[in-house]
């Protein structure tokens, strides 16, 4: 018998930075596009793009450190967090001031 709860807990533990980023982006950007016509649609598209890239990037970091077990993952995860924060801010600025201005 497959332990479904254990699988979900393993995924939560493995992608903990992406889930944290998901929660933070929901809190920070959920009301950022309220002045636009289709505020809900724009917000959902923005959050979807940001969080799909976050989960994808973390998946790539996980796969890289699984193949290279001799390397320490602390620096890689620090770089991942910095890159994802930078990508989130760039995408927010593009959505806010370029696409929907």
pLDDT at 49 (0 to 100):
92
d(CA 85, CA 83): 5
* Tokens 């933070």, located at residue: 24
Nearest alpha carbon to residue 88 among 61, 48, 60? 48
Nearest alpha carbon to residue 95 among 37, 39, 30, 46? 46
**CB-based contacts of 65, cutoff 8 Å, min separation 6:** 71, 73, 76
pLDDT at 101 (0 to 100):
65
Question: What parts of the chain have a pLDDT lower than 70?
Answer: 1-8, 100-101
């Amino acid at each position: 018998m497959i332990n479904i709860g254990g699988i979900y807990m393993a995924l939560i533990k493995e992608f903990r930075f992406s889930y944290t980023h998901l929660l933070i982006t929901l809190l920070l950007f959920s009301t950022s596009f309220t002045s636009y016509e289709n505020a809900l649609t724009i917000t959902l598209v923005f959050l979807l793009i940001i969080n799909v890239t976050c989960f994808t990037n973390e998946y790539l970091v996980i796969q890289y450190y699984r193949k290279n077990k001799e390397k320490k993952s602390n620096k890689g995860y620090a770089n991942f967090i910095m890159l994802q924060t930078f990508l989130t801010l760039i995408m927010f600025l593009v959505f806010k001031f370029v696409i929907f201005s």
